[in-house]
Amino acid sequence: MSPEEIKIDNFFLASVCLSGRIGCKRSKQLLKYFSDGASIWKADRDQLLISQLSEQIIDSLIHFRNQYPDCPEQLAEFCRREKIKLCSIRDENYPEILKEIEESAPTILYYRGELKPREPRIAIVGTRQATSYGIKTALKMAREIAASGITVVSGAATGIDTFAHKGALETGRTVAVLGEGLAVVQPKEKQKLLDRISENGAVISELGPRITAKKGTFPQRNRIIAGLSDGVVVVEAGERSGAISTAGYAGDYGKILFAVPGNIDREKSRGCHVLIRDGAILTRNFRDILEDCKFNFVDNKIEENKINVENPVDKKINLPELEGNEKIIFDLIPSEIAISVDDLAANLEEFSMSEINSTLTSLEAKGYIIMDDFGNYIHN
């Protein structure tokens, strides 16, 4: 099939996968017996049984097909309208490294942005309830990794994931893997970040565009994050964090696993300490990652980029001196623990709330401070 024929056929293959009981393994089994997705979608029961799938699975597919006979055409129209693209495991732009997880590799990826099949990638993951230490570490590592020409992969969740994406966007490229369909992103505020990622990387999901997140979809997402990456960095995580799930997949797939140490008394660092105890590489900075991760550079070469590992990216180096209200407010913002706007206001009786908020917005835009997921501020 030509690339254009595959592109059209992907909607038939995606419709087969949407039937409910045909996932990665079963869809690949069907592709061994049929030349394309359209042939699977149009095959009768006897033809489908040749694939050696059970009668129950085949009957489920036929029932779905009878219920939604126009599914491929409707899916194609919906994706066109929502600017969502499809990529199947047969396509040239399907990430090569993802094929290495074999039966677990998604047959279909829905995405916005640009997929690069052979780019080097490092995943940065961690807890949703990130501390100021975790946020600053994720930002710094992501900036340095992306500045080197390596793409940062994460899961677009609140906390560490969000700041990994934000840091990467400042200096390079990032990929977000979702545990929901691209057309039903929650919370709505996350869409603004995903739009930026689409412009400087890709937002991907193996789930149909209108499938909402649920408990079982996040482990599915975590396996893709691990499978898509050359190595996985856990910045901050409790012992039961979803990031530990991603680390588990990384181990299963033979990926290099890194973990950032933290305060031994801090619950959000316990997961990282367990990983380090069990063999993960203790990671302090980007240099630790470079020393242990052997990249197969095809689309990028680290020596062609300008990052100096001895003196990595530092946003504050070229920032101008602050004056007036900006200096007064900046000096009240801690460098280690985020502060709320209300607490700031309590120390700024001479300022109105509108003056405080506008000054904070200006400081954030200039790169002096960052706002965490709870609306609190800390030095960048």
Using one digit for the tens of pLDDT, what is the confidence trace for 245-299? Answer: 999 999 999 999 999 999 888 888 999 999 999 999 999 888 888 887 765 443 4
Q: For residue range 48-97, what is the model confidence (pLDDT) as tens digits?
A: 999 999 999 999 999 999 999 999 999 999 999 999 999 999 999 999 99
Domain final position from 82, 105, 124 = 82
Does 283 share its domain with 361? no
Report if residue 258 sits inside a domain. yes
The answer to whether the beta carbons of residues 21 and 103 sit under 8 Å apart is: no
Q: How do 108-113 and 85-88 pair as beta strands?
A: antiparallel
Domain match, 69 and 200 both: no
Model confidence at 3, pLDDT cuts 50, 70, 90, reads low
Q: Please write the tens of the pLDDT for every residue from 338-368.
A: 788 888 888 787 888 888 888 988 888 888 8
| Residues 120 and 197 grouped into a single domain | yes
Three-class DSSP category at 299: coil
Residue 40, pLDDT > 90, answer: yes
Sign of the CA dihedral with 355 first, then 357, 360, and 365 last: negative
Cα angle 375-379-380, degrees, rounded to a multiple of 5: 95
CA–CA dist 42, 48 (Å, integer):
10
72: Cα separation from own chain's centroid: 27
- How many other β-carbons are positioned within 10 Å of the β-carbon of residue 67? 9
Phi, psi of 263 (to 5 degrees): -60, 130
Residue type, 273: H
Check whether residue 285 and residue 182 sit in a common domain. Answer: yes
Q: How far is CA 77 from CA 71, 81, 161, 242, 282, in A?
A: 10, 6, 32, 34, 48
Task: Record the pTM.
Answer: 0.84
Residue listed under structure tokens 């890194």: 258
Omega cis (within 30) before 69 = no
Q: What is the pLDDT of residue 319?
A: 59
**pLDDT at 316 exceeding the cut of 70:** no
- The residue-averaged pLDDT of 219-238 equals 96
Q: What is the enclosing helix (H) or strand (E) of 201? A: strand 201-205
131: in domain: yes
> Looking at residue 68, what is its pLDDT?
96
Mean predicted confidence (pLDDT) in 214-241: 93
54 and 181 both lie in a single domain: no
pLDDT digits (tens, 9 = 90+) for 175-189: 999 999 999 998 888
Residues 99-121: what's their mean pLDDT?
95
Domain end residue (candidates: 60, 82, 104): 82
For 13, phi then psi, to 5°, come to -65, -40
152 and 38 both lie in a single domain: no
CATH number of the domain where residue 359 is located: 1.10.10.10
CA 28 to the chain's CA centroid = 25
280 & 334 share domain: no
Cβ neighbours around 304 below 10 Å, total? 9
Residues 65, 173 within the same domain = no
The total of structural domains in the chain comes to: 3
Would you call the peptide bond into 187 cis, given omega within 30 degrees of 0 as the criterion? yes
Most confident of 110-119, 124-133, 259-268, 371-380: 110-119
With CA atoms as reference, report the closest residue to 87 among 152, 20, 17: 17
DSSP 111-170: EEE---TT--EEEEEE-SS--HHHHHHHHHHHHHHHHTTPEEEE---TTHHHHHHHHHHH
- Kindly indicate the confidence band of residue 327, based on its pLDDT and cuts at 50, 70 and 90: confident
**117, two tokens:** 């099949």
Residue type, 184: V
CB atoms within 10 A of CB 151: 25
Helix (H) or strand (E) holding 234, with range, is strand 231-236
Residue 89 lies in a domain: no
Residue 306's pLDDT band, with cuts at 50, 70 and 90, is very low
The boundaries of the domain holding residue 19 are: 3-82
